[in-house]
Amino acid sequence: MASAFLNSHSLILRSDSLKTPQQPKLHFSSFTIKASSSSSSASSASNSGANVSLTGNNIEPVPSKHRRPADENIRDEARRHNTTHSHRFSAKYVPFNADPSSDESYSLDEIIYRSQSGGLLDVQHDMNALKNYDGKYWRNLFDSRVGKTTWPYGSGVWSKKEWVLPEIDGDDIVSAFEGNSNLFWAERFGKQFLGMNDLWVKHCGNSHTGSFKDLGMTVLVSQVNRLRKMHKPVVGVGCASTGDTSAALSAYCAAAGIPSIVFLPANRISLAQLVQPIANGAFVLSIDTDFDGCMQLIREVTAELPIYLANSLNSLRLEGQKTAAIEILQQFDWQVPDWVIVPGGNLGNIYAFYKGFHMCKELGLVDRIPRLVCAQAANANPLYLNYKSGWGEFKAVKANTTFASAIQIGDPVSIDRAVYALKNSNGIVEEATEEELMDAMAQADSTGMFICPHTGVALTALIKLVKSGVIAPTDRTVVVSTAHGLKFTQAKIEYHSNEIKDMTCRFANPPVQVNADFGSVMDVLKKYLLSKNPKC
């Protein structure tokens, strides 16, 4: 059945973007419109080489900005214009959530993953230097870079360079202009299933390799690129992965010409996830264990060999991932949503979102932060169990198989970070069973989305919190979609073919087998149309 379904249907992805309000009509007799680098119209005119000034009813040409010389690339152009001013700012590693009296710190150019006590590290920025500029300055600076090709600011991550890796040279940055992912107004899903009119889905999977991992990997691989140029002992970069991390690592390493090594749990990820690191030339080891076993092995290996560890234990990645939170605020014109719901596995991302929101508040861009929700699969739910115990002693679990394979993690590295983020944002943890997450994914897809199972976990959390009255129907809520649905077509096929054992698949939509004659086709179509239009 699954094979027939696959052969009979081709999937078309439509990227939806936000609708912009209708602009008021301009009366040329009353207005003078001049090209401005901060306006979308000016940007369009500049790109077409047809800048104009409208004065009265006359159209007057405005001198176009000269293109860069044909033998100059965008790195050369950035170097010539010296567009980087972040030398005023700095960052360093410090122990995560350290006592204020601690003076332990490390340069970002050191290869280190743990503090002296064995705890996590965090990237700490020189906030006093950043506070020399007010919130309006930072809002305007970040907004001015959106949609540009100026290196490296066309990236949603590097457009916030001063807050990410302020001291890295533009020549060392490895970027695919990741980020700037669309914030989708889930109008029909919100109204039909929840009675909500202000529900949004942040499609972080609409990125270079199809997941939010690109946001962190561009930072990590850029820093490795810098370290190798400094002749630091780094022969390659390695990670344990359930799929998306390996895809991002292998792509960015391939772009930089750096060897990548990937430890994957055998037979536990989708073919679409497996093929990405293979295609990008990574050295892939398929290991007969789960993610936690792969994670233990890569940590042991990187302790013995000069291979840079790329998992979220490495706090550099979180610096890139936090920019998704800043993007959300930008896309709401710097208005803060009430709730942000994030799927959680290794738990670095929930802290990254907290850090992004908190930096914006501390530096005066906004006056508050949203409440955070971390959503876990019930088959891999150690954070949820810890939350339900009142944040008692954390206990790792043996993660069971889940369709949300990227969060099938029972012993998360960033547990301390996640608990800190949730406690400081008045946050909540919720869980989703396999049937709940697959049904939520199918419901979302039926309203025009094409999401991953992990987003199904987050939507299930939303559904439960709305039904319990915790989230009000009028609350502005953002659900973070972490990966592209095209990576999980097999799971979708099995659901819509009713081939999942012990699952009802309530929203399955299998193809209808019809004889190849006009009468049979008409009978089927009439029955279908009447079911959709009973009043006709």
3-class DSSP state of 187: helix
CA nearest neighbour of 481 among 247, 244, 286 = 244
Residue 32 has a pLDDT of: 34
> Could you check whether 86-212+314-535 and 235-305 share the same CATH topology?
yes
Cα–Cα dist 92/126, whole Å: 8
| One-letter-per-residue 3-state SS of 364-433 | CCCCCCCEEEEEEECCCCHHHHHHHCCCCCCCCCCCCCCCCHHHCCCCCCCHHHHHHHHHCCCCEEEEEC
Contact call for residues 187 and 246 (beta carbons, < 8 A): no
DSSP state for residue 164 in the 8-state scheme: T
DSSP state for residue 483 in the 8-state scheme: B
In Å, how far are 14, 451, 463, 473 from 196, measured between CA atoms?
23, 19, 11, 5
Residue 79 has a pLDDT of: 81
Nearest 5°: CA angle at 450, between 178 and 22?
70
Residue 482 has a pLDDT of: 96
Cα–Cα dist 57/535, whole Å: 53
pTM (predicted TM-score): 0.85
Residue 371 has a pLDDT of: 98
Residue 37 has a pLDDT of: 38
Helix, strand, coil proportions of the chain in percent (round to 5)? 40, 15, 45
Strand-pair partners of 55:
32, 58
Encoded amino acid at 314, one letter: N
CA dihedral of residues 4, 7, 13, 14 (deg, nearest 10): -90
Q: 154-185: string of b/e by CB count within 10 Å (b at 16+)?
A: bbbbbbbbbbbbbbbebebbbbbbbbbbbbbb
CA nearest neighbour of 320 among 120, 83, 158 = 158
Residue 532 has a pLDDT of: 87
Contact call for residues 483 and 244 (beta carbons, < 8 A): yes
Please give the order of strands across the beta sheet that includes 236-240: 283-287, 260-265, 236-240, 307-309
Cα–Cα dist 47/57, whole Å: 24
CA nearest neighbour of 12 among 367, 489, 372 = 489
Crossing angle, helix 348-362 and helix 415-423, to 10 degrees? 40
Q: 422-438: string of b/e by CB count within 10 Å (b at 16+)?
A: beebebbbbbbebbbbb
Residue 265 has a pLDDT of: 86
Contact call for residues 215 and 312 (beta carbons, < 8 A): no
Place of tokens 């547990």: 415
Residue 447 has a pLDDT of: 97
Contact call for residues 372 and 353 (beta carbons, < 8 A): yes
Cis peptide before 152 (omega within 30 of 0): yes
Radius of gyration of the chain (CA): 25
Place of tokens 């030398």: 87
The fold for domain 235-305 equals: Rossmann fold (3.40.50)
**How many CB atoms are closer than 10 A to CB 268?**
20
Kindly state the helix (H) or strand (E) to which residue 308 belongs, with its residue range.
strand 307-309
Ordered per-residue pLDDT tens for the chain, 536 residues: 444 443 444 333 333 443 444 444 433 333 333 333 333 333 343 343 444 444 444 555 555 667 788 888 888 888 877 654 545 899 999 999 998 899 999 999 999 999 999 999 999 999 999 999 999 999 999 999 998 889 999 999 999 999 999 999 999 999 999 999 999 999 999 999 999 999 999 999 999 999 999 999 999 999 999 999 999 999 999 998 878 899 999 999 999 999 999 999 887 777 777 899 999 999 999 999 988 899 899 999 999 999 999 987 899 999 999 999 999 999 999 999 999 999 999 999 999 999 999 999 999 999 999 999 999 999 999 999 999 999 999 999 999 999 999 899 999 999 999 999 999 999 999 999 999 999 999 999 999 999 999 999 999 999 999 999 999 999 999 999 999 999 999 999 999 999 999 999 999 999 999 999 999 999 999 999 999 887 76
Nearest 5°: CA angle at 378, between 347 and 498?
120
Cα–Cα dist 456/434, whole Å: 9
Residue 460 has a pLDDT of: 98
CA nearest neighbour of 113 among 394, 311, 409 = 311
**Where are the domains positioned within the chain?**
86-212+314-535, 235-305
CA dihedral of residues 242, 248, 254, 258 (deg, nearest 10): -80
**How many CB atoms are closer than 10 A to CB 454?**
33
3-class DSSP state of 29: coil
**How many CB atoms are closer than 10 A to CB 113?**
18
Nearest 5°: CA angle at 269, between 207 and 219?
35
Residue 44 has a pLDDT of: 40
Assigned token pair, 433: 């069973």
CA nearest neighbour of 149 among 74, 66, 51 = 74
Tell me the CATH architecture of domain 86-212+314-535.
3-Layer(aba) Sandwich (3.40)
Residue 332 has a pLDDT of: 98
Encoded amino acid at 400, one letter: N
Encoded amino acid at 156, one letter: G
Q: Please, what's the largest Cα pairwise distance for the chain? A: 82
